[in-house]
Amino acid sequence: MKKRWMGLLGAVLTVLVLLSACKRSLNDVIATEPCKQGVVESVNERVLFLDEDKIEGDPNTGGYYSVSLDVEYSDSMTHFYEGDRVAVYYDGWIAESYPGQINHVYAILLLEAGEARKEAEKEQGADKNADGYTEITPEAAKEMMDADPDAVILDVREQSEFDTGHVPGAVLLPVGTIDEESAAAVLPDKETTVLVYCRSGNRSKQASKALAELGYTQIYEFGGVNDWPYELER
């Protein structure tokens, strides 16, 4: 009997491993699943209301939808502001009602930040610590990256560490090399939004303080890759 149960347990574990291995990447979802793009009219804890973009000549666009925020892919953003323009990837089925209900959502990606989000980010800037920079979570950093394509993601580790895996789009400026000249080469505008990280959060704090002392005004420190819950680029 014990051997039978052990055999069943092994079979179940094998199935779970296979299912996990078969899970698609977020990029696969974006490439293959239906998508609605539009502006967030309002949002609460469970759903956002989407005013879909109208495409001239396409009668199936320009709708109004209730979109579930219970998304399948955690790399997708699920915190939005009124006025944000987003892309909703879903299973293709919309429940008939008004507004139409999109309940099985794979991912929701921010395409363009609305004014409400921009104002919220300005207010975050008021939360600078005594060293002149703002400490945020990796999740908040991800939101800022998605909302502001001009933000600079700054890796302050060494080249060898950077090569083993870094946040997508990051540029390298090792903390030990930071001075007026090296910083200007990577960050010519001192009002640029800069998102700083390292391995564990120690060097990123040192680098953020150094940059603030050099006159950079929009420095956000979000810890290290050890706590980064999203994909890394190699």
> What domains appear along the chain, each with residue ranges and CATH number?
26-112 (2.40.50.140), 116-227 (3.40.250.10)
Residue 19 pLDDT: 43
Q: What is the pLDDT of residue 7?
A: 52
Worst-scoring range by mean pLDDT, 22-31, 81-90, 203-212? 22-31
Span 37-70, pLDDT tens digits? 999 999 998 999 999 999 888 888 899 999 999 9
pLDDT-derived band at 12 (thresholds 50, 70, 90) equals very low
198 annotated active-site:
yes
Catalytic position from the list 40, 152, 156, 198? 198
The pLDDT mean for the chain works out to 86
Contacts 24+ apart (CB under 8 A), 185-192: 186/152, 186/154, 187/152, 187/154, 187/211, 187/216, 190/214, 190/215, 190/216, 190/217, 191/216, 191/217, 191/218, 192/150, 192/151, 192/152, 192/216, 192/218
Poorest-pLDDT segment among 82-96, 104-118, 195-209: 104-118
Q: pTM here? A: 0.55
